[in-house]
C-alpha cells in the first residue's frame, strides 16, 4: 500500500471517529452507553497514549483565535460613506487648485488652504472616533475567552491529576467538578458526589437561577436548559461535587458555537437605517451638485473657448487654459460650499456621545451607527430572567401574621438596590418586633447562601438575587433589642451576622426543584436544634 493510500485511510478513520463523537447525544444515553461510546472508564480514565491519539483527532480544547480587523482596514471603513467620499474628493480638488493658484501667482497664501484643511481635519477626527470605538468593541469581544476554565482535575491512567491545563482535555476524559470550579468543557454528568449539584449557566441561557444537575437521562430533543445531565463550558459550579465525562471540546462546545456566531455577526456589513439614509442623501446631493456645477462651468464656456464661423462652420478655435481653470475652480468652490461638511462631524459626535452613555450602563456598541438603529427600535421582546435588565431584586412588601388569629400585617419596604441603607420599612419599630417577625428575620438571614458586598460607592450581590434581597430586608428590619441596624452607615451585614451567631447552622438541605424549598438545621439559642425552611 502506498503512502498516499495510508494517509487517506488514516484521514477516513479520524473523520469517522470525530463524527461518531460529535453526533452522539450523550444526554439521551445512560452512563454505561456513554462510557462505551467514548471508550473510557470512570475509575481509570484515559491512558496517556489514548489521550495523544484523540488530540490528533480533536485538537486542543480552546476557542479559535480569529484575526482582528487591521488598522488599515478600519481606516478605509471610516471612508465607506458616500457623503464622506464626496467631501474627501472636494477637499483634494480644493487643495490642488489652491496649490496651482499659488504657483501661478508666485506666492501661496495660507488662507487659500484653510477650507481644504478644515475639511481634512473634520474627516480625520471622524475617522479617529470611529476607529477608537470599533477597536474598543473588538477588545471587548475577546473577553469571551476569559470565561473559559484554565485548570481541571482529571483522572488519567488510574490516577488523579490535579490542576491539569484545561486546553489538554480530550473527549472521554473523566473530570471531577467542585464548588466554585469553572466547567472546562461540555461534559456528561456520570455521578453526583454530593446530594445536589447546581450550576450557574446564565452565560449561555440567560437564566439567573442556578440549574440543578443530575445523572438521569433526558429526551434527545431537549433544549439546552433542560439538559440536566450535562454541564457546559464556561459555566460555574455553585453547589456540590460530581464526576463528569468530557463530550465536546473547543469550538464544538456550546460556548464555542456562541463564539462562532459572534464572529460571523462581526463579519456582516448590513447598513443601518441611518447609514442608508445618509447614503441616499449623499447620492442625491452628488447628482444635484454635479449638475449645477456642470451648468455653471458650461455657462461660462464662452469666456475660455471662442471660435469664428467660416462658411457656416465653426473654426479658429481659441482656448484659454487659465480662464478654464478659473471657472472650473468657481464650480468646485460652489460644490464645496453646497456640501454640508459639518454633517459627518456632527453625526459622529452625537453617536459617540450616545455610545459613551451606553458604555456607562455596561452596554457594548461595536459600530457607531448602531446607536441610531437602537433608537429606531419600537418593540423589545424580553423575558423574566434579567437578560435585558439589571438582574437585581428587592423586597417591596413584607406581610406577617397579626397579633390576633386570622389577621395580617403589611409593611411597605423602600429602596430598590442592595444598599441596606437605601430606604426603610414604613411604619416599622424594631423594638416592637414580636416572635413572628423575629422568625421571619431569622429565616431570611440564616437560611440563605447569598451575600451583599460593597464595591466602591454601590453594593453588589454574591449568590442568588432573591436571597440577597432577603438579606437586605433583614438589615432594614434591625434587631429586636435596638432601634434598627440600618440607622447608621456601619457594617452593612451586622444584623445578619448577629442572627447567624444566635442560630448556628450545622447542616443544609439545598434547594431542590422537587422539594421546592431550602432548609437549614441550626443549634438554636434555646439550646435545641431547629429546622428553618425557606420556600
Length of the chain: 535
Contacts by 98-102, CB closer than 8 A, 24 or more apart:
100/325, 101/329
DSSP structural state of residue 168: G
Residues 514/234/203/34 CA torsion (nearest 10 deg): -50
Q: Which three cell numbers stand for residue 528?
A: 435545641
pTM of the model: 0.51
Tell how far CA 73 is from the center of its chain. Answer: 24
Q: Could you report the per-residue pLDDT of 87-99, keeping only the tens digit for each?
A: 777 777 777 777 7
Q: For residues 36 and 180, give the distance between their C-alpha atoms in angstroms, rounded to a whole number.
A: 30
Position with higher pLDDT, 274 vs 167: 167
- CB 100: neighbour CB atoms within 10 A? 13
Contacts by 103-109, CB closer than 8 A, 24 or more apart:
104/322
How confident is the model at residue 358, as a pLDDT?
72
pLDDT at 243 over 50: yes
Contacts of 189 (CB under 8 A, 6+ apart): 197, 213, 214, 215, 229, 230, 231, 242, 243, 244
Q: Among the listed ranges 2-6, 42-46, 200-204, 530-534, which one has the minimum average pLDDT value? A: 2-6
How confident is the model at residue 102, as a pLDDT?
62
Q: Could you report the per-residue pLDDT of 404-448, keeping only the tens digit for each?
A: 888 888 999 998 889 998 888 988 876 678 888 989 999 999 998
Task: Give the best-scoring range by mean pLDDT among 43-57, 260-274, 421-435.
Answer: 43-57
Of the candidates 479, 447, 480, 489, the one whose C-alpha atom is nearest the C-alpha of residue 464 is: 447
Contacts of 277 (CB under 8 A, 6+ apart): none
CATH class name, domain 30-55+149-262: mainly beta
Q: Among the listed ranges 410-424, 468-482, 483-497, 506-520, which one has the minimum average pLDDT value? A: 483-497
Residue in 7, 30, 157, 383 annotated catalytic: 383
Q: For residues 216 and 230, give the distance between their C-alpha atoms in angstroms, rounded to a whole number.
A: 10
Average pLDDT score over residue span 212-236: 90
With 0-12 / 13-18 / 19 or more C-beta atoms within 10 angstroms meaning exposed / middle / buried, residue 54 is buried
**CB of 530 closer than 8 Å to CB of 489:** no
Is 383 annotated in the active site?
yes
How confident is the model at residue 164, as a pLDDT?
87
Residues of the chain with CATH 2.70.150.10: 30-55+149-262
Q: Among the listed ranges 77-91, 127-141, 450-464, which one has the minimum average pLDDT value? A: 127-141
Kindly list the strands in the beta sheet with 230-231, ordered across the sheet, starting from the edge strand earlier in the chain: 159-165, 151-156, 174-177, 242-248, 186-192, 230-231
The CATH T-level fold of domain 397-481+488-498 is: Calcium-transporting ATPase, cytoplasmic domain N (3.40.1110)
Amino acid at each position: 500500500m502506498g503512502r498516499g493510500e495510508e494517509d487517506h485511510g488514516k484521514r477516513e478513520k479520524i473523520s469517522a471517529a470525530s463524527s461518531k463523537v460529535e453526533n452522539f447525544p450523550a444526554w439521551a444515553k445512560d452512563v454505561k452507553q456513554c462510557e462505551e461510546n467514548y471508550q473510557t472508564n470512570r475509575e481509570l480514565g484515559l491512558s496517556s497514549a489514548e489521550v495523544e491519539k484523540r488530540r490528533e483527532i480533536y485538537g486542543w480544547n480552546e476557542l479559535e483565535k480569529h484575526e482582528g480587523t487591521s488598522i488599515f482596514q478600519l481606516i478605509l471603513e471610516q471612508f465607506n460613506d458616500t457623503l464622506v467620499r464626496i467631501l474627501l474628493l472636494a477637499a483634494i480638488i480644493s487643495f490642488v487648485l489652491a496649490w496651482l493658484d499659488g504657483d501661478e501667482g508666485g506666492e501661496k497664501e495660507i488662507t487659500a488652504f484653510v477650507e481644504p484643511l478644515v475639511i481634512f481635519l473634520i474627516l480625520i477626527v471622524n475617522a479617529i472616533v470611529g476607529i477608537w470605538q470599533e477597536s474598543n468593541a473588538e477588545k471587548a469581544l475577546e473577553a469571551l475567552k476569559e470565561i473559559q476554565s484554565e485548570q481541571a482535575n482529571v483522572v488519567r491512567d488510574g490516577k488523579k491529576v490535579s490542576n491539569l491545563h484545561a486546553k489538554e482535555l480530550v473527549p472521554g476524559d473523566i473530570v471531577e467538578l467542585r464548588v466554585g470550579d469553572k466547567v472546562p468543557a461540555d461534559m456528561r454528568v456520570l455521578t453526583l458526589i454530593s446530594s445536589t449539584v447546581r450550576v450557574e449557566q446564565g452565560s449561555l441561557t440567560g437564566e439567573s437561577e442556578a440549574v440543578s444537575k443530575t445523572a438521569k437521562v433526558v429526551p434527545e430533543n431537549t433544549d439546552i436548559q433542560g439538559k440536566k445531565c450535562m454541564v457546559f463550558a464556561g459555566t460555574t459550579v455553585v453547589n456540590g461535587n460530581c464526576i463528569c465525562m468530557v463530550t465536546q471540546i473547543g469550538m464544538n462546545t456550546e460556548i464555542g458555537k456562541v463564539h462562532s456566531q459572534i464572529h460571523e455577526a462581526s463579519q456582516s456589513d448590513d447598513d443601518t437605517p441611518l447609514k442608508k439614509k445618509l447614503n441616499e442623501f449623499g447620492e442625491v446631493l452628488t447628482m444635484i451638485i454635479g449638475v449645477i456645477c456642470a451648468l455653471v462651468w458650461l455657462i461660462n464656456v464662452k469666456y475660455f473657448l471662442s471660435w469664428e464661423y467660416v462658411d457656416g462652420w465653426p473654426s479658429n478655435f481659441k482656448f484659454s487654459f487659465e480662464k478654464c481653470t478659473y471657472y472650473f475652480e468657481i464650480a468646485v468652490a460652489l460644490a464645496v460650499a453646497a456640501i454640508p461638511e459639518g454633517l459627518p462631524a456632527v453625526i459622529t459626535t452625537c453617536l459617540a456621545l450616545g455610545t459613551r452613555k451606553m458604555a456607562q450602563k455596561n452596554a457594548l456598541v461595536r459600530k457607531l451607527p448602531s446607536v441610531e438603529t437602537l433608537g429606531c427600535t419600537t418593540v423589545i421582546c424580553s423575558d423574566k430572567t434579567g437578560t435585558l435588565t439589571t438582574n437585581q431584586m428587592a423586597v417591596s412588601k413584607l406581610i406577617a401574621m397579626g397579633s390576633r388569629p386570622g389577621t395580617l400585617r403589611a409593611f411597605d419596604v423602600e429602596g430598590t438596590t442592595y444598599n441596606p441603607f437605601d430606604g426603610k420599612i414604613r411604619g416599622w419599630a424594631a423594638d416592637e418586633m414580636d416572635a413572628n417577625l423575629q422568625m421571619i428575620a431569622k429565616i431570611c438571614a440564616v437560611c440563605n447562601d447569598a451575600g451583599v458586598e460593597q464595591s466602591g460607592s454601590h453594593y453588589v450581590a454574591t449568590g442568588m438575587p432573591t436571597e440577597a434581597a432577603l438579606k437586605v430586608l433583614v438589615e432594614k428590619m434591625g434587631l429586636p433589642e435596638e432601634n434598627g441596624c440600618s440607622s447608621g452607615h456601619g457594617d452593612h451585614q451586622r444584623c445578619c451576622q448577629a442572627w447567624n451567631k444566635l442560630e448556628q447552622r450545622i447542616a443544609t438541605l439545598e434547594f431542590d426543584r422537587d422539594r421546592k424549598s431550602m432548609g437549614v438545621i441550626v443549634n438554636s439559642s434555646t439550646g435545641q436544634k431547629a429546622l428553618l425552611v425557606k420556600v
